[in-house]
């Protein structure tokens, strides 16, 4: 029974902090830290996949939305003492609003120009974050971002942050599923696979591109808020373009356009280097090479490999039972 499997899986995931404490008592802080990052990256990757995988727009602007959400919440919390419950929607709304404003001119560009336009936007956002020192503190970073406080509930311990991350990726996953199936999913995929035919099917390509872009951007902003609430510090370097590369690796490694694939990719991407204890620069070299090889040889990623293998297993037997 599917419902049973889901419940057991969910229970397992919720129980992870205790499992980790029991299994690797000395390492539990570190393991939980990695898991929190995995969950946040997973949510971020899903929001990115909406744009790249389902509507087919190769946007490189995602770091900007992540950063806009992060900075909005960070500054509201530190300068204006906004509580988390208000800063989170503010960050989401700000990122979504910028996506809405930028999306309209961006989508007038085609193909390479669109990618370059979004890349330029991401670069300019980082430049502004670095140089508008009066507002963003620039390279000095925004520090002392308070831990989330929801009424009497204070998220301050690692397990608490883990559950926050788990809730985030769970909610984003549900949203992702709802948006990419049935009618709306078909519209997205129609625009992605054959825009001209989609128009003939009464589907407004720009409308659906914007829906994916704005929701993707807003969710990225939300993840940004959660991220700074956990880390407590925000520097302009977080908006670096390399985040787009990281996200692309996650998507292509795991499987573009697939919920399971993207989450697998995010997990592999975040957890593996920690397990292998790789230095950041070497990590990027490996990611670059990995992305290069994957996009050429197996653009479906692990998900595609799995699907092909299971299709082989599913071949009808000759006995016909």
The tokens for 281 are 């620069």
Q: Which of 8, 24, 276, 289 binds another protein (CB under 8 A)?
A: 289
The CB-of-158 to another protein minimum distance in angstroms stands at 30
The answer to whether 160 contacts another protein (rule: CB under 8 A) is no
Is the CB of 11 or the CB of 311 nearer to another protein? 311
Residue 152 CB burial class (10 angstroms; 0-12, 13-18, ≥19): exposed
Identify which of residues 86 and 286 has a Cβ nearer to another protein in the complex: 286
Task: Please list the alpha-helical segments (H only) found in 132-255.
Answer: 133-136, 158-180, 182-193, 195-200, 205-231, 242-254
CB atoms within 10 A of CB 10: 12
- Among 124, 150, 272, 276, the residue binding another protein under the rule CB under 8 A is 124
Residue in the structure block whose two tokens are 């951007």: 217
Give the residue, chosen from 67, 96, 103, 117, that forms a contact with another protein under the rule CB under 8 A.
117
DSSP secondary structure of 153-181: EE--SHHHHHHHHHHHHHHHHHHHHHHHS
Pick from 150, 144, 169, 178: nearest CA to 13: 169
Residue number with CB closer to another protein (281 or 310): 281
* Binder of another protein out of 285, 305, 308, 309 (CB under 8 A): 285
Site for another protein in 212-241 (CB under 8 A): 241
Tell which positions 182-201 bind another protein, by CB under 8 A: 182-184, 186-187, 189-190, 193-194, 196-201
Neighbours of 68 (CB within 10 A): 25
To another protein, the closest distance from the beta carbon of 39 in angstroms equals 23
What is the C-alpha separation between 170 and 178, in angstroms, rounded?
12
Closer residue to another protein (CB): 165 or 254 = 254
Degrees to nearest 5, angle at CA 136 with 132 and 227: 140
Binding-site ranges for another protein (CB under 8 A)? 56, 58, 105, 108-109, 111-113, 115-117, 119-121, 123-124, 127-128, 130-131, 178, 182-184, 186-187, 189-190, 193-194, 196-205, 241-242, 245, 248, 252, 281-282, 284-285, 287-292, 295-296, 299
């Amino acid at each position: 029974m599917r419902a049973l499997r889901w419940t057991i899986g969910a229970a397992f995931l919720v129980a992870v902090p205790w499992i980790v404490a029991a299994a690797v008592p000395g390492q539990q802080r570190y393991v939980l830290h990695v898991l929190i990052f995995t969950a946040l990256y997973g949510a971020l990757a899903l929001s990115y996949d909406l744009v790249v995988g389902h509507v087919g727009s190769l946007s490189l602007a995602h770091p900007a939305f992540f950063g806009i959400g992060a900075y909005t919440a960070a500054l509201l919390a530190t300068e204006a003492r906004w509580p988390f419950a208000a800063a989170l929607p503010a960050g989401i709304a700000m990122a979504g609003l910028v996506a809405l404003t930028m999306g309209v001119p961006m989508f007038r560009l085609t193909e390479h120009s669109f990618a370059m336009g979004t890349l330029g936007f991401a670069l300019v956002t980082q430049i502004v974050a670095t140089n508008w020192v009066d507002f963003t503190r620039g390279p000095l970073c925004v520090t002392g971002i308070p831990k989330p406080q929801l009424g009497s509930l204070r998220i301050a311990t690692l397990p608490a942050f883990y559950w926050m991350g788990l809730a985030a990726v769970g909610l984003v996953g549900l949203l992702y599923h709802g948006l990419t199936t049935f009618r709306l999913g078909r519209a997205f995929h129609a625009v992605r696979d054959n825009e001209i035919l989609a128009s003939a099917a009464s589907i407004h390509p720009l409308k659906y591109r914007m829906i994916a872009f704005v929701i993707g951007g807003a969710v990225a902003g939300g993840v940004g808020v959660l991220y700074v609430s956990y880390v407590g510090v925000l520097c302009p370097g977080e908006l670096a373009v390399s985040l787009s590369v990281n996200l692309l690796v996650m998507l292509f490694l795991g499987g573009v356009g697939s919920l399971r694939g993207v989450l697998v990719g995010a997990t592999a991407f975040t957890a593996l280097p920690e397990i292998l204890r790789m230095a950041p620069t070497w990590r990027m070299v490996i990611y670059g090479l990995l992305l290069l090889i994957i996009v050429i040889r197996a653009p479906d990623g692990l998900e595609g490999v799995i699907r092909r293998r299971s299709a082989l297993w599913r071949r009808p037997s000759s006995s016909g039972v």
